[in-house]
Amino acid sequence: MLEVDQVTKRYGGIVAIDRVSLRVEEGEIRCLVGPNGAGKTTLFNVLAGSTKPSSGSIRLRGRDVTGLAPRRMSRLGVARKFQSPSVFDEFTVRDNLEVAVDGKRPVRHLLRHDRRADESVEDLVDELGLADHLGVKAGHLSHGQRQWLEIGMVLANEPQLLLLDEPTAGMTRDETTSTEALLRRVARGRRLTMIVIEHDIGFVRALGDRITVLHKGQVLVEGSAEQIEGNPEVRRVYLGGS
Amino acid sequence: MTFAHDLRSAGTAEPPPTARRTPTAAWRGLVLLAAAVALWLLPMVLDTRSVSLLSRFMLFGLAALGLDLLWGRAGLLSLGHAALFGLGCYTSGLVLTRTTWAANDLVAVLAGIAVPAAFGFFAGLVLFKGRIKGVYFGIVTLLFALLFEQLAGTWGSLTGGFNGLVVPGGITIGPLDLEMPSDMYRVVLVVSILGYLVVRWFASSPLGRAIEASRMNDLRAEALGYDVAVVRAITLGAAGALAGLAGALYAPVEGFIYPNQLGLVASTSFIVWVAIGGRGTLIGAFVGAVIVNGVQSRLSDRFQEYWPLLIGCFLLVVILFEPGGVAGSSRRLVAAVGSVRSRFRARS
């Protein structure tokens, strides 16, 4: 599905990610962990097209997509949930989801409402648990609900590869659990491939098929949850010093 | 957010949608229809000068509608909206005075729409693809206003220079000979209403929603697949079409056009009207332009001197205490009356 080959991103003298290689299979849920400044978000920026890599290549289903703009990546089925909830605050939940459904339609078709959009929105809000909030402005939702709404917008965009940057950041224990259930449900139902940046180790253990640990811009180690947790290198990186 | 959106979303939030929606919509329609009929009949009671003044004010309102689309909906504050309006004025004025085609009145209006629309769209495409936004967009549009004003002033052989361009009053559309000020007034009235309805439809389409989305969060919009630069360029083109349409009719209504109409002072006036009327509400822009101009024209000469000071203070009051402008406060008033009425009904 996704092949990242020797991707490096430099900002002046600082190397944010350094020769990162990654293979994610179709339908896999990959978790990306690592201390602050490890380069996780930079890697997402490169994958979503917001940042051009300094070197290296990215292939999506065998097609070279290195350095394409975000909207092109979106049209190729790569959707991204940003780190802090990034929804349209003055829009209602319904409008947020509809604007997401319409994102991939050509501009010249945008003067007409698409009836199918309404139906997919109805289905989505049930899945998200926001059915009672369709008419509520996104700015009035709780933090957790805004996170779900953005996940919903990203899903409405009909992606094949989902990039989730800390989907449970700032959530309560209960909200984290339902987010976990939501993601597992959609991944199975839609046969999505996901890459998730997450700090919550319980969440990672429950959701991730495989885990990649980034440290100082490089891939430190990759493996299953048990392998990662037993790895002395990982412990050293997380628990102290460098 | 348009009123239609509010209604729709309120309908889904509360269980009995149809029971609540229908009477309000019917009332609104009735009020608007009554207003339109009253305006149509107005020339029978007003003197000729007032009628042609009102035509001018409505055309300012139509052009202000374009600025509201751009500023209120797309969040792009143009400091040079008068450049687009003036481009429409001069395009139509030049066709009317310099050509002898059979249908040149119609051509004048169509060209007056097309030229500013095309200019807005293509200039927008260049600017927005170059990631110009915010203050920088303001500065560039300011330069356009200054440039166009200068050009209209110095290119005398084409534009009549600083002395302006005299345009024959009135237009002919097919068999209709519309020369009387009251005829022109009715043309302007119909065009304004149609223009407003088209803008409303445009703003509530998925494209209108994309325009608003790109104002609120352009990175999110881009990540959802929208080409924000193209969406913004279309908005600037639409603003140009509206300002151009208004300008194209302004030339034969006023009978005289001059370089100041493309300049900075005229541009800031548009901003003041939109702000007072209620930014982002569409109808507010139109109403604001008509009200502010109406008040100004009623003041005695003595007060005209202090006008910029007065309108400045008033604008300050609006921004500080009623950012929703005229449209916002009247909407609140209607809501308050509605809630009192329903409370009264519940009691009886």
More confident residue, B29 or B193: B193
Pick from A142, A140, A201, A200: which is nearest to A169 by CA? A200
How far apart are alpha carbons B124 and B129 in whole angstroms?
Answer: 8
Q: What backbone torsions phi and psi does residue A54 show, to the nearest 5 degrees?
A: -75, -35
Q: Are B253 and B166 in contact (CB under 8 A)?
A: no
Ramachandran quadrant class, B75 (left: phi over 0; alpha: psi -120 to 50; beta: rest): left
CA-to-CA distance for B290 and B271, rounded, in angstroms?
13
Query: Are the CB atoms for B248 and B93 separated by under 8 Å?
Result: no
Average pLDDT, chain B: 86
Q: What radius of gyration, in Å, describes the C-alpha atoms of chain A? A: 18
What's the confidence (pLDDT) of residue B23? Answer: 64
pLDDT at B80 over 50: yes
The 10s digit of each residue's pLDDT in B251-306 is: 988 888 989 888 888 999 999 999 999 999 999 999 999 999 998 888 877 777 78
What mean pLDDT is predicted for residues A199-219? 83
Residue pair B210/A109 in contact by the 8 Å Cβ criterion: no
Residue B156 pLDDT: 82
pLDDT in tens, B151-177: 998 888 888 888 888 888 777 777 777
B89, B112 contact by CB (below 8 A)? yes
Taking contacts as CB-CB distances below 8 angstroms, the residues of chain B near A105 are 206
- Alpha carbon A149 to its chain centroid, in Å, reads 13
Residue B298 lies in a domain: no
- In DSSP notation, B94-133 reads HHHHH---TTHHHHHHHHHHHHHHHHHHHHHHHHHHTT--
- B230: which chain A residues are within 8 Å (Cβ-Cβ)? 107
Q: Is residue B263 part of a domain?
A: yes
Whether the per-residue pLDDT at B7 is higher than 90: the answer is no
Residue A241 predicted with pLDDT over 80: no
Which token pair is A231? 């790895």
Angle between helices A93-102 and B3-13 (to 10 degrees): 120
Indicate whether B321 belongs to any domain. no
Q: How distant, in Å, are the alpha carbons of A113, A153, B24 from that of B9?
A: 16, 18, 15
How much is the pLDDT for B5?
40
Task: Give the nearest chain B residue to A88 (CA atoms).
Answer: B216
Residue B13: predicted pLDDT: 40
More confident residue, B18 or A201: A201
DSSP label at residue A137 = B
Q: How close are the terminal C-alpha atoms of chain B, in Å?
A: 35
pLDDT in tens, A141-178: 998 899 999 999 999 888 899 999 988 888 888 888 88
Q: What is the pLDDT of residue B20?
A: 46
Please answer whether residues B211 and B231 qualify as being in contact, where contact means their C-beta atoms are separated by less than 8 angstroms. Answer: yes
Query: What's residue A196's pLDDT?
Result: 92
Cross-chain CB nearest to A88 (options B5, B217, B225): B217
Q: Which tokens go with A195?
A: 């890459």
Contact by Cβ (8 Å): A111, A138: no
Locus of tokens 């209607």: B334
A52, A55, A61, A67 alpha-carbon torsion, rounded to 10°: 20
Residue A239: per-residue pLDDT: 66
CA-CA distance, B329 to B174, in Å (whole number)? 43
Residue B244 lies in a domain: yes
Alpha-carbon distance A134 to nearest alpha carbon in chain B (angstroms): 7
pLDDT grade for B1, boundaries at 50, 70 and 90: very low
Q: How high is the mean pLDDT of chain A?
A: 87
Best of B204, B217, B224 to disrupt the A interface (most A CBs within 10 Å) is B224
Residue B285 lies in a domain: no
All residues at 6 or more sequence positions from A219 whose CB lies less than 8 Å from its CB, including other chains: A20, A21, A22, A212, A213
How do residues B129-144 score in pLDDT, each as one tens digit? 998 988 999 999 999 9
CB contact under 8 A, A98 and B9: no
B83: which residues sit within 8 A by CB, 6+ positions away? Answer: B141, B144, B145, B147, B148, B149, B262, B267
CB contact under 8 A, B13 and A79: no
**What is the pLDDT confidence band of residue B12, given thresholds at 50, 70 and 90?**
very low
Residue A210's DSSP bridge partners are A30
Measured in degrees and rounded to the nearest 5, phi and psi for residue B45 equal: -110, -20
Task: Give the pLDDT of residue B40.
Answer: 92
Question: What percentage of chain B exceeds 70 in pLDDT?
Answer: 92
The proportion of chain A whose per-residue pLDDT surpasses 70, expressed as a percent, equals 98
- Whether residue B124 is predicted with pLDDT greater than 70 in this model: the reply is yes
User: Which residue segment(s) compose the domain that B264 sits in?
Assistant: 3-11+47-269
Indicate whether A242 pLDDT > 60.
no
Tell me how far apart the alpha carbons of residues B310 and A133 are, in angstroms, rounded to a whole number: 45
Whether residue B62 lies inside any domain: the answer is yes
Instruction: Assess if residue B129 is contained within a domain.
Output: yes
Q: Which tokens go with A224?
A: 């299953």
B222 and A70 within 8 Å at the Cβ level: the answer is yes
Q: Are strands A29-33 and A193-197 parallel, antiparallel or unpaired?
A: parallel
Domain count of the fold of chain B: 1
User: In the block, which residue shows the tokens 């909030």?
Assistant: A133
Nearest to B205 among A90, A111, A153 (CB): A111
Q: Is residue B294 part of a domain?
A: no
Beta bridge partners of A78: A161
Looking at residue A205, its amino acid is R
Looking up tokens 């193209």 gives: B230
Answer yes or no: is pLDDT of B14 > 50: no
Q: Are B292 and B272 in contact (CB under 8 A)?
A: yes
pTM attached to this predicted model:
0.87
Question: Quick one: tokens of B322?
Answer: 């009623």
Q: Which residues of B touch A79 (CB under 8 A)?
A: 223-224
Lowest mean per-residue pLDDT among B14-28, B205-219, B253-267: B14-28
